[in-house]
Amino acid sequence: MKLLPSLRQKKRYVLFEITAEKSFSLAEVQEAIESSLLRFLGELGVAKAGSLFIKEKWNAQKQRFVVKVNHTFVDELKSAVILNKKIKNTPVLIRSVITSGTLKKISSNL
């Protein structure tokens, strides 16, 4: 049985970019992002936000990644990710590039 459109969770996709002296692997970035979300939002907040790191949209050359989140938690997601200052003891600067409701628009900026 399918959910009615009015009962479905509305989602947003946020594209982030990492600026650092070295490049990171997908696993390192995913671990750092998930730990920073847990630290900032807590377990209940992460469950409500419904955040999901999208592995298929990882760009290793540009160090860009996409996170899917509930539409009411976009600002909290950005705050949690941007406050992450280190990945594997390497100083990093993470910034959000674009927020969209579809992956097609995000893919054109990836």
Q: What is the pLDDT of residues 15-60, one digit of tens each?
A: 999 999 999 999 999 999 999 999 999 999 999 999 999 999 899 8
Overall pTM > 0.85? yes
Q: For the segment 68-92, what is each residue's pLDDT rounded down to a tens digit?
A: 999 999 999 999 999 999 988 899 9
Model confidence at 3, in pLDDT bands (50, 70, 90)? Answer: confident
What is the secondary structure of the chain as a DSSP string?
Answer: -PPPTTTSPPEEEEEEEEE-SS---HHHHHHHHHHHHHHHHHHHHHHHHT-EEEEEEEETTTTEEEEEEEGGGHHHHHHHHHT--EETTEE-EEEEEEEESSHHHHHHH-
Q: Where are the domains of the chain?
A: 11-109
State which fold the 11-109 domain adopts.
Answer: Alpha-Beta Plaits (3.30.70)
Please, which pLDDT band fits residue 2 given cuts at 50, 70 and 90? confident
